[in-house]
Structure 1
Amino acid sequence: MKSKNTPGAADAPNEHRARLLHAMAHVAATQGFAASSIAAVVAEAGVSKRTFYEHFADKDACFLELYRAASASALRTLRESVQPERPWQDQVEHALGAYLAHLAAGPQLTRMLFVEIHHLGPAGATVRRGVMQRLADYMLETINTQDTVLTPTMAMAAVGGIHELVLQAIERGETAQLERLTASASAVVRLLASAGPVGGAKKTAR
C-alpha cells in the first residue's frame, strides 16, 4: 500500500517516472534498499527495464530522486503551514507539527528515507545536505522577518537536532507518532534562537 506522502504525479509529471518512484518507495520500504533490485522496481511499476533506464541511470539515482521528491513534499507542507500573522514562536511550532504529522503519515517511507540515505555514500550525503539546507533556509525566512533572531549556523544546528529526534523515534519504532515531537522540536529552535548571534554576527536592534 502506498503512503499518502509518497511523491506522486505532482512531484514527477511524467507518468512512467512517477510510477517508478512509487515503485521504488514500495520495494525499498518492504525489502530494504540494499536488497531491492531494478527488476523488482519495474515489476512493481509495470514498466520495462528499458523504460527505467530512460529515466534513471541506476537504482541509486532512482532512490535519490525519490528522496528529493519526498523531501520537497514534506517541505511544502511546512511552508504551507506558516501563519505569518502569529509570533514566530507560534509559527514554528505549528509548522513543525504539520511537518512531523506529514512524516508520520507514511511511517514506512519515512523510516526508509531517513535511514537508507546514509548508505548511498557521497551522492546521498550531498542530496541530504541540500535538503537540510532548505529546511534551515525556511527557518531563517520564517523567524528573521523583522530582527536577526536566528543565525544560519544556529538554523542548521536546529535542523540537525530535529533530524536526530526523528531518527531516535524511528529507531524506537515510533515513526507513526512523530507528531509527539512537536514540543521538543520547537524548544530546540527557541533555545538556539535565544543563544544569540555567533561568529561575529550583529543582532538587529529591537
Structure 2
Amino acid sequence: MRAVNPDEPPPRPLPRGRHSPGGEVVASSQRTRLLDALVELVAEHGYAGVKVGEIARTAGVSLSTFYAHFPGKEECFLEAYESVVQALMTDLGRSLAQVTTLEDGIEQAAVAYFAWFAGRPTAARTFLIEIRGAGNVALQRRAEALDQFLVVFAAALERVGRADLPPPRARLLALLGAVEALAYDRVLAGHPEQLLDLAPDAVDAAMRLLAP
C-alpha cells in the first residue's frame, strides 16, 4: 500500500469488464482510496465531524465495502496513521544513513521531518492537528511513533561515533515534543508550506541539548 497522500492526484479509475484486474488489486485500490478519503475529510472537518458514510462516498465505494475493509472509523484512521509513520520513518532513515557528524544528522532529521509534512499539507493537518481529537488509541500510537524516532536517531548517533550522547529519554522526548509543537503552530495557522523555515531553530535547539 502506498503512503497516504491525498495531496497527490487521484489514481486512474480501475478498468471494468473482462479486462478488470484481479480481486486483490481491486481491494487494494479500494482500501487506499478509503484511507486517502479519511485523511482528506478529517483534515477538513476534524475527526469527530467525519462519518463512515462520508468516507465511503468520497472514496467512491459502498458502505458495505468500507466495512469489508475496516470495522469502523477508528481502525481506518489508525491504519492511515501507520502508513504515514512508516513513510516518514523511511524518509528519516534514508536521510540519516550517510551522515558523518552530529550536527549533520540533526539537520538532516529536521529537514526530512518538516519537508515530509510541508509536501503533504492535508496529512499534516490530519496527523499533527486533528489526531489529538481521535481518541486514546490514536494518542498511544502517536507516543509509540515518537519511540520509533528515538530508535532511528540513536542508531544515527552510533554511526557517527556519538553513542554516548543521547540524553535521558525524557529530555529527548521533550525536544521532539518541542519540534512537533513548532510544526503544530505553523500548520494550525494555515501555513504548512512554511514548515521548512523551522528547521534552523530546531537544529539550534537540538545542538544545545545534545552537545552543550
TM range (shorter): 0.7 to 0.9
Given that residues 47 and 131 in structure 2 are in contact (C-alpha distance below 8 angstroms), is that contact kept between their aligned partners in structure 1? no
Structure 1: stretches of 5+ with no match in the other structure: 7-12, 196-206
Name the counterpart of 1:168: 185
Given that residues 82 and 94 in structure 1 are in contact (C-alpha distance below 8 angstroms), is that contact kept between their aligned partners in structure 2? yes
Of 18, 25, 31, the match for 2:39: 25
Question: C-alpha separation between the residues in 2 aligned to 1:95 and 1:170?
Answer: 19
Residue 121 of structure 1: how far off its partner (Å): 2.3
Of 150, 156, 162, the match for 1:136: 150
Following TM superposition, the consecutive aligned residue runs of length 4 or more in structure 1 with deviations greater than 3 angstroms are none
Name the counterpart of 1:151: 167
Residue 142 of structure 1: how far off its partner (Å): 1.0
Given that residues 136 and 152 in structure 1 are in contact (C-alpha distance below 8 angstroms), is that contact kept between their aligned partners in structure 2? no
1:2 lines up with 2:6 in the alignment: yes
Question: C-alpha separation between the residues in 1 aligned to 2:154 and 2:38?
Answer: 33
Question: Which secondary structure state, in structure 2, belongs to the residue aligned with residue 81 of structure 1?
Answer: helix
TM-score with structure 1 length normalisation?
Answer: 0.82
Name the counterpart of 2:93: 79
Given that residues 99 and 156 in structure 2 are in contact (C-alpha distance below 8 angstroms), is that contact kept between their aligned partners in structure 1? no
Count of aligned pairs between the two proteins: 188
Name the counterpart of 1:185: 202
Structure 2: stretches of 5+ with no match in the other structure: 11-26
- Cα RMSD (Å) of the superposition? 2.1
Given that residues 162 and 188 in structure 1 are in contact (C-alpha distance below 8 angstroms), is that contact kept between their aligned partners in structure 2? no
Question: C-alpha separation between the residues in 1 aligned to 2:68 and 2:208?
Answer: 48
Question: C-alpha separation between the residues in 2 aligned to 1:15 and 1:126?
Answer: 28
Q: Greater CA deviation, 80-89 or 162-171?
A: 80-89
Given that residues 144 and 150 in structure 1 are in contact (C-alpha distance below 8 angstroms), is that contact kept between their aligned partners in structure 2? no
2:197 partner amino acid: R
* Greater RCO, CA 8 A, separation 6+: 2
Residue 18 of structure 1: how far off its partner (Å): 1.1
TM-score with structure 2 length normalisation?
Answer: 0.80
